[in-house]
Structures are given as C-alpha cells and as structure tokens.
Structure 1
C-alpha cells in the first residue's frame, strides 16, 4: 500500500497561510429566537458544487521530475542513478501507457476525480485496525466561561450545536465553504446577493473573478448518521439520514434517545440535558464483555464477529448504533495533562468509543472535549468546519446555561439502553480484541512542546513561510538526533477541486538537507548571513511545493493512481514500484500535519510506520506548538528536545545571533 493517509488536511492556495475558519453567516441565534439553524446563508450550501473545477491529472513528465527531486535528499549517488533510470524507463514505457489510459478513464467520469475511487479503496480495503493506524483526534479549546466547562452542560450545548449544524447543512442554509483571497470583495453581502442568482453551472467562475475559491463539500453528508461497516476484504460506508436518535456511550454501556422529533425539530435542550443527566446517574458497571472493543480489531476479524452478532439476534441493536446521528462518549474522569489528553482522545481504553462511527464527540468529567473521527469517509476540511461551527455556537449562544435546570421529564421512558446477545464465540472475540488493543496502545508515547520565543508574526516579518520553517525544524531535529534525512509526509487538501482529497507535500528537499547539515554538523563554518540565505531558500522551495500540492500538482497521488490502475487491470507491477527507493519514500518516518483554528486546542495521531513519528503541530501568532507520538523504536522526548534546540538555532540566525553548540 502507498503511504497511509494523514490527517487534519488543510487547503492552502496562493497563500501559504492555513485555511481560515469560515465565519458564521447572517441569521439570528438560538438564544435570541429559538432558531434551529446556525445561520441562513444567502448562498445555498451546494451552490458551487456543480461548477467546481476537476482535479487535474499532472503531466507524467512533471510527476517524474517531482518524484526524482523528492528522492534526491534520501539517496546516495549510486542509488539515485538507479532510481532515475527506472523513472525514465517508466515515463517512456509502461508508465506512459498507464497514464494515457488513466486520462481516458478520467474523461469518462467527469462527475468525480481520478483520485476519489482509488482513495476510498485504499482506506476501505486496509485490514489494519482503524485505531492508531488511521483515526486522528482534534481537541476543543475550553469554553471561555469556566462554569460552562461542566460535563453535562457542555455535552448538552455541543449536542444541540451539532444538531443545529446538521439541520443547517441539510436545509441548504450552511454557508458554502469558500477560501477568500480578497474577502473585502468576495465575503460581502453584496457579492452573495449577486452570486446566488448565478446558475450553479457557472457559480464557481463568478467566485473566481473576485479571487474566491469555493471548496468541495461532497463529504459533508457523511458527517451524520454514518458508520464504517467491516466486510471481508473491503469495508463499506453506511448512512441513514432518516434516523433521529443519538448514541451515547458511558462505561462501555450503550444508550440511545431521540434528539429530533418526527417533524425533524430538535428536542428541547432541557430535555436533552435531562436525558444526559439520567445516563450520567446510571450506576451500571462496565460490561464483562464490552462490545465496543470489537471496532478496534483487525477489519477481517471484526467482519467475522459482526456477522456472528447479526446471526445471534443483534440486528436491531446494531442498526441503532450504525444509524445514530453521531456517537457521544462520556468519560468518568478528568484530564490530567496534555499527554493524558492525547491518549484519551486518540484511543481511550477501547471500551467507551465506537471507532467506526463517522465521528465520536468525547466529553470527560471536567468538560474537556474532542472529536475523534474515522478517516475513510472524508478529510480534515469537513471535520474542522464542523468543529469551528460547534465551538462558536456552543460558546457564544449556548442552548443551556450553568443555571439551567433539566426538564422534568421521565428519562427512563425516553432513554433506551441497548443490550446485546453474546455467545461464547463473541465473548472470546471481545476478550481477544481487548487484549490486542491494550498491548498495542501501551507501546505508544506522546510528548508535547511549546516554543514561546516567537511564531507566525515574527516569521512573516522575516518574509518567511511559518509552515516552511516548522518543516525545516523537523528536518534539522531528525538529523541532529539520528544523523540522516528520511521520508517526510505533510498533508495538503485538494478540496479546491470536485471530489478532491489530499496531496502530499514532501518537505525533505536538497535545500532542507543542506541547511540542516550546516546547522547541525558545523564542520564548515557558515556566517549568519549564509545560514539566513539557506533558510530563505528552504522557505521559497517549500512554498512552491505547497502551491503545487494544493493545485493537484504533486506526484504522490498520480503515481498512486497509476499503480492502482495497473493492479485493477491485472497489469504486472512496473519496476518503478518495485524499486527499494519507491518503497522507502512511502515509508514515512516523519508524518506531519497542521491546522490553525480558534476552536482547536491541539490535535494528534499515531506514527504511520513502527519506526516513525506522528507530528501534529501549529504555528500560532506568538508561539509554536507540537504534539508528537512514537512507538518504542523512536525516542519522542529526545526528538522534541532536538526540535526545541533547532528552533532556538533558527531563531538565533534570524535575529543575527550566534548559533550555540
């Protein structure tokens, strides 16, 4: 399999700044008039979808050139010459034929993108557990009002805000996702009043004329009432938008209750609060055989056990789980620190999450909240938009207050506890799943770093890309710790195109390698001015890679699709893909992803290879944060110490100071 996909994707177009949160549109709030919508957009939610440009298939010669450029810092001269010859042969032979057939197939499928089908296949055919291997988390910032960081109050408010997002989306009132390069022209009421009357088939071009770039929103419908179902060899995605109930997990017990009435109206917040209070007061112990552990299993093993569940009379209970609006997880403990937060939100104890759900909204005892999401159905753009809206709505116009009283209703009649019939085979399967889960997660280590000397503001004053500097730092740190340059992955969204997914930015370059060696090895002395020039070269080149990736002009997805096409046609695997250098560049030892949002406190994910690091990071205005993970093959604490030293060195250079030994 090509490199596993990561994570928290972002759109970055002509600007290298992370995609900004889209502000809520016009409309009155819940607290003012009881509206069940976040806002009522002048422009229908899917207005731009029909006219979105198609994801381009790069020219084969460009893909090969970019591939070889990414290989240069990873190979010695002999290795590179061999890889270069294989790439040239591929471009002149089998690769050319595959490329032409891929282009022809793409022309026959103008309703989608060339990457969409292969990408779904890659995720859904993967047999590894979704836990650690695929699912990431994004933690919310605390509510600015301390008294609202109460588990019951915040769970109620976030649930209501999530339902308001659902209703706003389905009614077509949700503001379309648009990347504004000139908001004073495009993000205005006047422009929206104009563009709404432009036919959908032309609307994208109208936005483009004012430097606005609508993004693909085809993934959004999978946010709700959706679950990944385990099947032999390839899973499926299930969605049932007719269901109106919420799934709540607490101590491994399953509860459901309706959060919308038969007319599609949101149940009164005070009643939702009452039902959640009822669940929190239930003293049922953790089941002896906690069913949720099965969703952490190998997909084929889980598929067998799911069929056994269905055969044992659990069809209705499983359907309630699969079709629930979303899964709310209530944990009975507070968060101790950043490390505890990461472990809790990324994997937990295996008992109180349904990892296959499109997303789990997790609330701990102290009101700490996070979204844990299954990755096959969509990418970070959709999830981050949802998180931004839920945070804004639940904190600015909360459905219940710290003084609100739950409704005087009989929750014992409204809340149904799901019970499952388990035979010996299922009990044995659950026990084994829990043992496998425990053995795996205990090998994962998290460490966090906050560098407070400066951030985005300072780097932009230096006319440098903040993201480029963060990526350079990781190259310097790894060289300092392990003495080598390795395959590095950075996720970039291609949501500017119809059914775009992600493309890879390859931050390890000849420029970062040269700069890292100058900073670390110091065998040949460089002046501050020379080092500063090297840093500027790294920033410029990284900016170029970023723009290419965002515009669908990387090389990873193209090569991946050509390989997928060859395999689907039964064509022998070309020599390029059997080259050890190709295997090595897709063994991503440094897996990195970033996002920036006022709603997000931190994110995290596991390494994608046993000897790798998983690095979630954010460059804020005045600081740089990093949350890194590793298995025993790597020392994550030492790595972050090297990251800190590398940041100090680079900031010293930029400030004209001496680099310390």
Structure 2
C-alpha cells in the first residue's frame, strides 16, 4: 500500500537556522511540548484542492467522473463521518498521522529497503588511496559522529527553525542506536538509546565480517581518533581471510523473504547474539574494498550506486547491514558516503549530522593521544547452516538483479546555483521544480504526477507531506514554453506564475494544509472503522494521482554532497538535488527494466532545460524582471 511513499525524504524549504546552543536539562521535552499539534484541514478545502491537482493529470472525462464521486463522498455523509473520526483521533494522540505514516510508508512496505527505500549520500572524494588513509579518515569520522552524539545526549543540539518557527527535533533522537527488524507482514524499529544501559559500541564491517568496537572508555569518555585508528587496524588484520559468507547480504532481500530467513538465522544462540550486537550498536561503519576504476564522468554515479546497494554480491553489498539506521561507508580508494534506513528519519537530520562530521574530519589533531592498551574488538561470529547458506545464495541472486536494474546518473550543473534564481526574486527550489516539469514534458509530451517532499516538522512528531509540483500553472508554462508563437515576455510571465504557485503550495504543505496526508488519513480511517473503502479511493484518477513518475526532494547541505534514492514506481524517476551557491548537485535514478526511462537522458534534458530558462530570463525585457 502506498509503496511510493517509502522513498521520499522531508526537506526544509529554506535554510534551517540554529536558535540556541545553551545546555538546558530536559530541554528536548520542554521544546517538544511547545510545538503545535498537526492540524486536520477542512474536508471541503482538501476535496477542492484535490480536484484542482487532478486537472493537469487526467482527461476531462476522468475528471468529470471523479468530480461526481467527490460530490457523493460529501453529500452521502461518508466524508463527514470519516473526518469526525480523524478529529477524534487527533484529540487522543500526539500526532494523528505519525504512527499511521510510519507503519504505512515504511514498516508495512515489503520491497527491499535497498534501492527501493533507503537513501544514500555521496560525499566528496577523499584524497587517500590506501589502507592507512582509509582507516585514519574512518577513525576521525567515528570521532566526529560521537561528538555529534554528545550534543544529542546532552540536549545541546541547536533547535532548528523554519520561517521563524521552531521545528520538531524528535528525528535526531531516533537515528543513533536504532535498527529495523524484519517481520512476516510488518517490520518494527527498535531504539536502544534510551535503555537503562545505552550501547557504547559501534559495528565495523570489513571483508564481509562484523566486529563490535567499544568506542567509550569505562569512565564514559569517548575514544580519540588515534585510539579508534589502532582498533580499526586490529579489525583489518583479523578480517583478511576471504572465505566468509556475506551474511549482511540477507538484509537486501524482499522483506517477507528476509523475515523468514531472519527467524531461521537467530534460532542459533551465537547468531542471535551477533545480530543483537549489530542492532544495538550506535551506528555501523563499512570499510569497503576499492571500487572498480571508472572514468571521471562516471565516477560520482558509480559511487552513488555503491552507497545505495554496494555494487553487488561480488563487490561490497555483503559489507552492509541494510536494516541499520546509519551506515557510514569509507572505501580504500577515497570514495565515501552513507546509506540510511528511512523509517526513523527524513534527510535533513541525516545531512545536518553529515555536515558536522565532514567539518570535524577537517580539524587537525593538535595533540596525539598516548597509546594505551585496549581490548581486541569482538568479532561477531555466525554459524552458517546449509539452510542459511541457501538463503544467502537466493539473496545474492535477487540483489544482483536489482543492482543491474538500477540506472543512476549523478551530475553537477555548473552554469548557475541557487544565487541565480534568487537574483531574479524566484524561489530556487520552485525554479528547479518547474524546470523538472518542463524537462519531463519535453521528453514525454505530457505532465505527470510529481512528488516533492515537504517537512511537517513545525508540528510535534511531524514527518512529511507532498508538494504536488504538477499544477495547472506549471502545465500552462510548459505548454507556453514549447509554443513558438509566444513571445519571450509571455513565457517569462508564465514561468513566474508557475514558480509562485509552487511556492504557495509549498507554504501550504509545511503548514499542514496539503491534501495527500489528509486523503491518506481518510482512507485509513475507513479501514480502521471496518467500512468499505469509499469510491474516490478506488477511482482511476486517484491511482494516477498516486503514481509518482517523478519522486523528488531537495536536501540542501553545507557539504558539497548529494543524496540519492531509487524511483518509487517501475516507470518513474527518483531525483534529488542539493542547490549550492554557484552550482547544483543532482542525482537521477531510473530502472533499466523500463524501456521508457533513462537516467542519463533525463539528466541531459534537465540540464538543457535549466540553461534554456536562464536564456529566457536574460532575453526578456529588463524592465519587466
């Protein structure tokens, strides 16, 4: 159900600013209590906006049919009854949507988390090309994450705000010491950070072998980068034999298959203890073998694939535990990044952590730590029965099919960054989204249902809603842009209207007034009430509206990086971007199994479209701009 959702990450629509760094005991809870509850929009308002959102997507005949169904939904009293049910739920819960959302969008989603759900982040290439450099960088990275963790533990993390309003910080408290656990019909997420004895170890995986590495001394102080480096060297030295089964590859499988294999795996006491150690660890560090050499043009795209799936069973895919919330990846050739399991958080908290860590790795070590004896990191052992071996082989086959199917293109658009649309008094995000509409229209001759993620973190436990980028105004613009009879100034006016309409929808979404989560709530309320699903949710128009051929997200970062994720429908694209001052980092994904989609082609159209928009603005009369 709603499989498209499992991919989309929340985003701040403008730069998120820290408010305070003061240490105040219990500050997190005090701050959470001041946040408003997520509202339920008026029913009539949502239905009117739904009909408007359908206009660029469906035929007039389909629209008229849906309009009749919507009228019946209102006049029959069904809509009002479900709305009242939602309002009762809102009074009884901290957030009427958050638990439903976690279950529906993530934990009940049965496709593999690899590619289909978990996003990756490509970090700038490091300048080491050997084991020493790899381990030194990994040690500094670990020290940086522990530094960020101390802000979470001490509740000194700056409270972020958006447009002057404080944001919910809950997701920051969910990303460390947490893990997804497979279940036969529904998964669960465990978080050990609030346990009586919170974990003090991380998981390190090298050469498909897992190690438990304590990163705190007995007095509670964290190990320094020098100490961690020595421990990583010990891990490297003990994991050189290559005949180990890649147990981590099991986590790449379809969730039902993995749940069955998981129950089989943990029947053995040793296996169960090893799995629990991974699940409880603060985070995972994957020390990867170097990637196969590729040309500079293809390098970033290949790294993105490594972050998303590890390159296949013969490369680094077994060097992962994809259920782990945070996995930092550092390869011997200097490529590095992260993959994260999406259930506990959206992109911005992950990127804030990465920004902190990347800056931290640049700090010089002014004083070398004195060498002290530290215990050998504990190797996590697994007893591989013939049945488990068979599960691993099946998972390898399925994964390799998925690896070959993912088509990904990462590129840097260098002609301008966010400063150019800003100079024209245009929202950079809305400008990029309108460019995406035009690129898609030029490729396919039609508009498509487009998902852009909007953060609901203004509200307590807020996750995301949908900014619907395909609008009446965007369609008018793309049609006008392709009309040779229209003058430049007319086209610029249509562009401005489309950008302003997108900006208005964004503002509506982040303030809890968008339509997608409300419609989902009404549908889930009907299921909970054990009544028949209303016709408007069984309608062709609803299916078209929810089939997101473009699944997009802006995830801005200070670091010159880009997030990437797979498409959410078989014939769609996943597009993520990080607008820097003078350039934009893009990641475009598609599936090779679909003859109609091609990531490099979409990237090419997008690049040309952005250039055309700049030309259009420059050629319009200056007095009108």
Equivalent in 451, 459, 468 of residue 506 of structure 1: 468
2:343 maps to which residue? 376
TM-score (norm 2): 0.91
Deviations 1:178-224 (A, max 9, x none): 33x4xxxxxxxxxxxxxxxxxxxxxxxxxxxxxx3211122222211
Distance 1:568 1:262, change over 3 A: farther
SS of residue paired to 1:134:
coil
Distance 1:459 1:359, change over 3 A: same
- State yes or no: 1:51 paired with 2:34: yes
Equivalent in 84, 88, 103 of residue 121 of structure 1: 103
CA positional deviation for 1:52: 0.6
Deviations 1:118-162 (A, max 9, x none): 111111111111111110012334579999993222211110111
CA positional deviation for 1:448: 2.8
Equivalent in 569, 573, 576 of residue 609 of structure 1: 569
CA distance in 2, matches of 1:448, 1:406: 43
Equivalent in 608, 615, 620 of residue 645 of structure 1: 608
1:281 maps to which residue? 237
Q: Is the 8 A contact 1:224 1:326 kept in 2?
A: yes
- State yes or no: 1:442 paired with 2:404: yes
- State yes or no: 1:407 paired with 2:390: no
CA distance in 1, matches of 2:139, 2:70: 56
Q: Is the 8 A contact 1:445 1:629 kept in 2?
A: yes
Distance 1:287 1:126, change over 3 A: farther
- State yes or no: 1:572 paired with 2:532: yes
- State yes or no: 1:359 paired with 2:359: no
Q: Is the 8 A contact 2:247 2:318 kept in 1?
A: yes
Distance 1:151 1:369, change over 3 A: same
1:226-375 → structure 2 map (5 Å cutoff)? 226-241=178-193, 242-313=198-269, 314-333=271-290, 336=294, 337-348=299-310, 349=312, 350-375=317-342
Distance 1:514 1:642, change over 3 A: same
Residue segments in structure 1 that go unaligned for 5+ positions in a row = 13-17, 27-39, 182-211
Q: How many residues align?
A: 600
2:589 maps to which residue? 629
Distance 1:149 1:635, change over 3 A: farther
CA distance in 1, matches of 2:145, 2:290: 23
Q: CA RMSD in A?
A: 2.4
Residue segments in structure 2 that go unaligned for 5+ positions in a row = none
1:7 maps to which residue? 8
Equivalent in 225, 230, 254 of residue 177 of structure 2: 225
2:79 maps to which residue? 95
CA distance in 1, matches of 2:422, 2:127: 29
CA distance in 2, matches of 1:213, 1:315: 45
Deviations 1:595-651 (A, max 9, x none): 221124111001011100111113322223321011122122222221122112211
617-626 or 130-139, which moves further after superposition? Answer: 617-626
Q: Is the 8 A contact 1:312 1:422 kept in 2?
A: no
CA distance in 1, matches of 2:21, 2:90: 36
CA distance in 2, matches of 1:427, 1:578: 43
549-558 or 261-270, which moves further after superposition? Answer: 261-270
CA distance in 2, matches of 1:149, 1:475: 46
